[in-house]
A and B are shown apart, each in its own frame.
Chain A
Amino acid sequence: VETVLIPGVNSRKHQMCFDWGPGEMLVCETSFNKKEKSEMVPSCPFIYIIRKDVDVYSQVLRKLFNESHGIFVGLQRIEEELTGKSRKSQLVRVSKNYRSVIRACMEEMHQVAIAAKDPASGRQFSSQVSILSAMELIWNLCEILFIEVAPAGPLLLHLLDWVRLHVCEVDSLSADVLGSENPSKHESFWNLVTILVLQGRLDEARQMLSKEADTSPASVGMCRIMGELMRTMPILSPGNTQTLTELELKWQHWHEECERYLQDCTFASNPHLESLCKIMLGDEAALLEQKELLSNWYHFLVTRLLYSNPTVKPIDLQYYAQSSLDLFLGGESSPEPLDNILMAAFEFDIHQVIKECSIALSNWWFVAHLTDLLDHCKLLQSHNLYFGSNMREFLLLEYASGLFAHPSLWQLGVDYFDYCPELGRVSLELHIERIPLNTEQKALKVLRICEQRQMTEQVRSICKILAMKAVRNNRLGSALSWSIRAKDAAFATLVSDRFLRDYCERGCFSDLDLIDNLGPAMMLSDRLTFLGKYREFHRVYGEKRFADAASLLLSLMTSQIAPRSFWMTLLTDALPLLEQKQVIFSAEQTYELMQCLEDLTSGRPVHGGPDTQQCQDDDIETTKVEMLRLALARNLARAIIREGSLEGS
């Protein structure tokens, strides 16, 4: 249970209210007062955002997220190619990749912890290092037991490696001792030898013993015997072809030999060597005496197995593990979460491992990736959770949602959603619409993600938002380009209307570079086509190609793509063409123009009323209509004459 104090809020006097978000919580002060009458204005004017997952904001851990993302995506991709014998080795390789990423992160965090300026943050980084170390420890064990599925024999070798990797004081101790002038007289000499034996590094232990033999003639004989015992201990080496039974027999034989030497009191004069012999016989009491060197129960477990049952079978591990834990703790302390997780692993209870890890760790990263990998090993039964998806998917969804709460890491989250077959797409659709888009470049990336996944609804909605923003900022060209991308005809119509309105108000077109170069996009909406063609009319007129301009104008009106409100403008545009010296409109065309005019005037209701402005407008309208009628009539006359006479036909 964590208590977080909100600065600035007097929690004794005022009540606070809160609301949950996807990864955060909003908190603010209310005006409800616990004791006295409620005040009108809360004294603290801020709204606070409380984030639960601080790991996402850690600089060093970000590298972990990014690198592991690459490994995750790679694993999903090669899934189809994973068949047969190579499958297991490929999965082991992926597991080792993940682990090396964790180790790299650990190393860097360690450097940061050392370089930290104030002790508090230094401690925080150090605790992060130990969390990462624990994660790697658990992952490594899972790799040995679940992915590698080491059988009896190799199992112990892997466990030895595991322990050697994680109890690393040996190397610094060894450097200390060997670096000194007289190693065998060093105070930690026997500690070093003991721990080498405990870790099964018998060759190195032998070398140390030979140094002791050199300096202390009295113990030469004993050292030689001990050295021989160490050398002859049967151990399964990777390329060895002997069967398990052979190994067991040999080992039994060797064990009895050690026993004999102990019974004969060969090492009685040197308590160190005697205790080493007992250790090598797997004597529990002797091992427990070395608690400090062992430092944890799983080291005790592995040493115990090495010297009492090296061909242990995987299913028997749990009994040894439980008893080792009990013996090591000795009733003085209770198991910690890490111990419980490891125990669950030894019991081959994968679900328990994942459950305990989820509880113990603050971030979903570990369980999500581990579960995904184990799922690829076909180890998880697909018992469905209550909302229908399986555990792997649940964890991946949780992890990816956490990524989306981060301003930058959302791009990683996209790929995780892609590989959740049941709810991934829906989750992505919901999340991707809510990413804040402050630049076009970011918007383009988001749109590309949507388009690649055929999320047309989201594409439309995002383009609409951007187009609306552009219209508000008077960037009509941008607005049009967004509506073209979304194939949004309705919005294209809206933008075209804006252009036309601007034209009516100003008498000229803005943004000619855009309208002149619409290209095939013109077909997106009728209004847009009209806009493009209308501009073309102006251009053609400007080039004095009057006949073409005339037919274009006519086609604009007769093809019904011109909005009705614009017809008057179009007809007015026809006036100069009608007034030209030569006859431009043919009789047929003039009839059509007249038809349009009649359509327009008949449709309008009569404006009555006392409004003077209205009357003035009416006057202007009537004048225009009259002028048009006159011009049309004159043109009709001239056209009929021209067409009727010999040259015109």
Chain B
Amino acid sequence: MEEIYAKFVSQKISKTRWQPLPPGSLQTAETFATGSWDNEENYVSLWSIGDFGNLDSDGGFEGDHQLLCDIRHHGDIMDLQFFDQERIVTASSTGCVTVFLHHPNNQTLSVNQQWTTAHYHTGPGSPSYSSAPCTGIVCNNPEIVTVGEDGRINLFRADHKEAVRTIDNADSSTLHAVTFLRTPEILTVNSIGQLKIWDFRQQGNEPSQILSLTGDRVPLHCVDRHPNQQHVVATGGQDGMLSIWDVRQGTMPVSLLKAHEAEMWEVHFHPSNPDHLFTCLKMDPFVSFHQVKLFNELLTFLSHSISNQAHVHQSVISSWLSTDPAKDRIEITSLLPSRTLSVNSLDVLGPCLVCGTDAEAIYVTRHLFS
């Protein structure tokens, strides 16, 4: 893998996210945000890989990422998402959810809104108040959904002081991650290996569907939804197993891939190229994270046949849902040199990839598919 820029930044990075580009823009990604963890003072930082006037001999951009601005953050940054072009939402280990606003003209970050007691074990009213870390966030302008170690799900709306909806005790174990399926539906994964689907249109505090792996209750750490097909999700577990689920059918995963030897911290479908799936984990001797690519001749056939017919009753089958991964070619490539500590987070946008590690380094590449 050529052209990976590494930079040591003196803080362990827990999350990295690309700033979303304006819709219809032809630029490539330029700015990303990072959150740190395990420091006495943690920071949310914005970095830029844009042109600083340095062009190398090929005329390409040269040099590694530069810090634009940062702001102090209370507690570890457990999750970080861009709410829109200018606002960043973070989940803290103190149970607080914060919205930061980026001011591009003077390159500063400021706190725009904060929900300090979003997650707690015993409530703010009682004398033995104890907060709980908020573990996951997902945004869909104007809504923000958060989950935490207290098993609680909150639905916030930007600029509303109180939570719009709270599901207390949604889960008896820790909720690790959350993603939107369709707009009123979310999907959470927890530490006893279950996926739960919640419908905000319904009044009760019960999930509308529960899916789980049989066998050992292996905690699931991360989840991501296919960008085009809203019923396909991928989850990563504590044992390094990558599972693909179809939430419309059955309660079992469609395919399982033993991708790593240890916890998978993040899984991402590539937003514009969903045949590619990215995962990252703690180091094992030979690979740090994978690019899993699935070719499926069946999909090609289907897409041809669909275009030739006027009416199609059969729904388009996602390439990921074919049941035999051994038959269809899956290519797994390691993208980082080994010997680093745990890769905690990664994000992809177009041909650009950024990831952050516990070795206090950030890696950026702009040529993912070359």
Interface residues of A (CB under 8 A from B): 59-60, 62-63, 66-67, 69-70, 73-74, 77, 407-408, 411-412, 438-442, 444-445, 448, 452, 473-478, 480-481, 484, 510-511, 513-514, 517-521
Nearest-neighbor residue (CB-CB) of B190 within chain A: A477
Is the Cβ of A511 less than 8 Å from the Cβ of B172? yes
Nearest-neighbor residue (CB-CB) of B92 within chain A: A439
Q: What is the minimal beta-carbon distance from B170 to any residue of chain A, in angstroms?
A: 9
A444-B238, A445-B358 provided; 12 other pairs, C-beta below 8 A? A440-B149, A441-B76, A442-B37, A445-B342, A452-B262, A478-B172, A478-B191, A480-B173, A484-B217, A511-B172, A519-B216, A521-B216
Is the Cβ of A514 less than 8 Å from the Cβ of B192? yes
Is the Cβ of A475 less than 8 Å from the Cβ of B210? no
6 contacts between A and B (CB under 8 A): A70-B359, A440-B135, A475-B174, A477-B192, A478-B172, A511-B172
Q: What is the minimal beta-carbon distance from B256 to any residue of chain A, in angstroms?
A: 16
A473 interface neighbour in B8, B150, B339, B361, Cβ under 8 Å? B150
Please report the total number of B residues contacting A with Cβ < 8 Å.
51
**Which of B14, B76, B192, B340 has the most chain A CB atoms closer than 10 A to its own CB?**
B192
Is the Cβ of A408 less than 8 Å from the Cβ of B39? yes
Residues in B106-152 with C-beta less than 8 Å from chain A: 121-122, 130, 132-133, 135, 149-151
Is the Cβ of B12 less than 8 Å from the Cβ of A448? no
Q: What is the minimal beta-carbon distance from B283 to any residue of chain A, in angstroms?
A: 10
Q: What is the minimal beta-carbon distance from B43 to any residue of chain A, in angstroms?
A: 11
A66 to B9, CA, bound (A): 10
Q: Which secondary structure dominates where chain A touches chain B?
A: helix
Residues in B74-103 with C-beta less than 8 Å from chain A: 76, 78, 93
Is the Cβ of A478 less than 8 Å from the Cβ of B121? no
Report the 8 A-B pairs with minimum CB-CB distance, sorted nearest first: A477-B172, A477-B173, A511-B172, A473-B121, A63-B8, A62-B10, A408-B38, A439-B133
B2 interface contact, C-beta 8 A: no
A130 to B153, CA, bound (A): 54
A93 to B202, CA, bound (A): 65
B358 interface neighbour in A67, A411, A513, Cβ under 8 Å? A411
B319 interface contact, C-beta 8 A: no
Q: What is the minimal beta-carbon distance from B187 to any residue of chain A, in angstroms?
A: 14
A474 to B151, CA, bound (A): 11
Is the Cβ of B172 less than 8 Å from the Cβ of A476? yes
- Which residues of chain A are within 8 angstroms of B191 by Cβ–Cβ distance? 440, 477-478, 481
Is the Cβ of B174 less than 8 Å from the Cβ of A478? yes
B263 interface contact, C-beta 8 A: yes
- Which residues of chain B are within 8 angstroms of A408 by Cβ–Cβ distance? 11-12, 38-39
- Which residues of chain B are within 8 angstroms of A519 by Cβ–Cβ distance? 214-217
Is the Cβ of A517 less than 8 Å from the Cβ of B194? yes
A517 to B214, CA, bound (A): 9
- Which residues of chain B are within 8 angstroms of A484 by Cβ–Cβ distance? 217
Q: What is the minimal beta-carbon distance from A54 to any residue of chain B, in angstroms?
A: 14
- Which residues of chain B are within 8 angstroms of A520 by Cβ–Cβ distance? 215-216
A59 to B210, CA, bound (A): 46
- Which residues of chain A are within 8 angstroms of B11 by Cβ–Cβ distance? 62, 408
Contact indicator per residue, chain B 187-199, by CB within 8 Å of chain A (1) or not (0):
0001110101000
Q: A66-B8, A513-B196, A519-B217 given as contacts; is B135 within 8 A of A441 (CB)?
A: yes
Is the Cβ of A481 less than 8 Å from the Cβ of B8? no
Is the Cβ of B122 less than 8 Å from the Cβ of A473? yes
Is the Cβ of A475 less than 8 Å from the Cβ of B173? yes
B246 interface contact, C-beta 8 A: no
Is the Cβ of B121 less than 8 Å from the Cβ of A480? no
Nearest-neighbor residue (CB-CB) of A510 within chain B: B172
Residues in B191-232 with C-beta less than 8 Å from chain A: 191-192, 194, 196, 207, 210, 212, 214-217, 219
Is the Cβ of B340 less than 8 Å from the Cβ of A513? no
Is the Cβ of B282 less than 8 Å from the Cβ of A441? no
- Which residues of chain A are within 8 angstroms of B359 by Cβ–Cβ distance? 66, 69-70, 412
B40 interface contact, C-beta 8 A: yes
- Which residues of chain B are within 8 angstroms of A439 by Cβ–Cβ distance? 76, 78, 93, 133, 135, 149
Nearest-neighbor residue (CB-CB) of B9 within chain A: A63
A398 to B263, CA, bound (A): 31
Is the Cβ of B78 less than 8 Å from the Cβ of A63? no
B64 interface contact, C-beta 8 A: no
Q: A74-B339, A439-B149 given as contacts; is B39 within 8 A of A513 (CB)?
A: no
B171 interface contact, C-beta 8 A: yes
A411 to B283, CA, bound (A): 13
